[in-house]
A = this chain, B = another copy of it.
Amino acid sequence: MSQNIYKHHDHHACIDTAVSRARDLCQEKGVRLTPIRQRVLELVWANHKPVGAYDLLPRLAEEGFNSAPPTVYRALDFLLDLGLVHRITSLNAFIGCTHPGEDHPTCFFVCRQCGQAQELDSAEMSDIARQAEARLGVVVEQQITELLGLCPACKGAA
């Protein structure tokens, strides 16, 4: 299941792994992980909360990067295309992918209290797509599911 973010872990390792995989993937695909792109990826990975495009702007500005909407959207689009980040559409926000490289349906659990998002792999995901194809005669090209609720910590606190 990707990994469990609710367990205590060395988060620097999360970031390092993400950047390292990104480098490899870019190498493999013959595309460039430019400074802006890498920095955006790191900022998206700063924690396990989905981050809005406009949240990134001031942080990039602080560091002397150009900071205008197109800059960050272009970087995000690049990362999305490579599957390095996902978009949580119900939040208009972006989050790092825990297993980039593999083309997969995306499924996230988002805590409505603390905002953290946990990526999930579920075999049933593809069942749903196949079922839709069989029952409706459609072709499914993309699939997203988003679960909203309370994470273990926030559930306990309530």
Q: Dominant SS at the A interface?
A: mixed
A73: CB under 8 A from chain B? Answer: no
Does B125 contact A6, Cβ atoms closer than 8 Å?
no
A residues 120-158 with Cβ under 8 Å of B? 120, 122, 124-125, 127-129, 131-132, 135-152, 155
Q: Report how far A118 CA is from B141 CA in the complex, Å.
A: 15
Does A128 contact B124, Cβ atoms closer than 8 Å?
yes
A97: CB under 8 A from chain B? Answer: no
Does A122 contact B112, Cβ atoms closer than 8 Å?
no
A4: CB under 8 A from chain B? Answer: yes
Instruction: Given the known inter-chain contacts A145-B143, A146-B143, please indicate yes or no for A136 contacting B122, CB distance below 8 A.
Output: no
A-B contact pairs, 14 of them (CB 8 A): A6-B136, A89-B89, A118-B138, A120-B128, A120-B132, A124-B124, A124-B128, A136-B152, A137-B155, A139-B150, A139-B155, A140-B149, A141-B150, A142-B148
